[in-house]
Homo-oligomer: A and B are copies of this chain.
């Protein structure tokens, strides 16, 4: 239920305003050097308060490893990692104790469970994704051993779109606060988000992710296709509304004769001339770049009054309070990367048993 993965498996726990959040990573092979500085750097890419276009909440998101690492190496035992909660202004949330915020999980949780930790959204808070980023950092360390490289970036905010990834220098993603490697588009995106923030409103965006140097053979046929798991992983991130890989929704309008990726022998290595397949054929990686888009809706918390109902069904008004992101995608980049890393790490291990 709160776990993801088959062989490289994570289980997260924790609420926004409880004592701590955390994750157990079960199935990390023994002998991996656990670089804590790297894990912290990934958490810092996700943390609130990192720039003017993110929420101004301050959370350091420092973590502590409780198990599974001995003298700097993974031992094969489960790695438990905890992040204590700080700066919890629980009183900010007393106004929603009995009221359901529009397009939040308040109403569905209340109905499903009959009890609800309303403080900051409780379990439904995006704070949970910090645990994923920490676990994803360890997955990245494992993938690096195989040369696999994961690159997320912001490709759209509102109507503003970056050029396709093949025309971008992905090493520039961290050069600006919106995490779009095209500096001209980035400047416009930042201006747009800033305007939205001043309007006490929010806006959506798209994160694109490109996985380079994947070996051939990751992914399982039928239900656990590589792109099906990537899709599930991305759709499990808060605020995600859509997933497409390779040609995606635009590929619908093409003809097979345009869309098929013909094979060529490129200096002894089998390659495809085009890559509408997005690096995945029949659910299994073919060695080309794996790329996909993840659509995020505008953040549901806005600094405006909205119509709602309370637990008794009385119509009421919810006022926006607290400190929230006007646009989620800049901070979503490391989350998308983390989930992609978890999917790939799992399939990398699963691929060890495909043949006798």
Contacts and interface: CB of A to CB of B under 8 A. Distances in A.
A231 interface: yes
Interface stretch (A41-49, A52-60, A240-248): A240-248
A343 to B, nearest CB: 11
A272 interface: yes
A32 to B, nearest CB: 5
Contacts of A96: none
**Number of copies of chain A assembled together:** 4
Interface string A197-237: 00101111110000000001101111111011101111110
Q: Is the interface of A mostly helix, strand, loop or mixed?
A: mixed
A148 interface: no
A244 B206 CA distance: 13
A208 to B, nearest CB: 12
A112 interface: yes
A351 interface: yes
Interface string A292-336: 010111111110101111000111000000000000000000000
Contact of A309 (B7, B76, B264, B278): B264
B296 A252 contact: yes
A64 interface: yes
A159 to B, nearest CB: 5
Contacts of A177: none
A340 B214 CA distance: 31
Given A204-B253, A354-B30, A22 B66 contact: yes
A260 interface: yes
Interface string A117-157: 10000111000100000000000001001000000000010
A165 interface: no
A124 B70 CA distance: 14
A270 to B, nearest CB: 6
Most chain B CB neighbours (cut-off 10 Å) among A204, A216, A241, A273? A241
A166 B126 CA distance: 32
B113 A78 contact: no
8 contacts: A13-B67, A14-B66, A30-B114, A76-B115, A206-B252, A241-B246, A242-B242, A349-B353
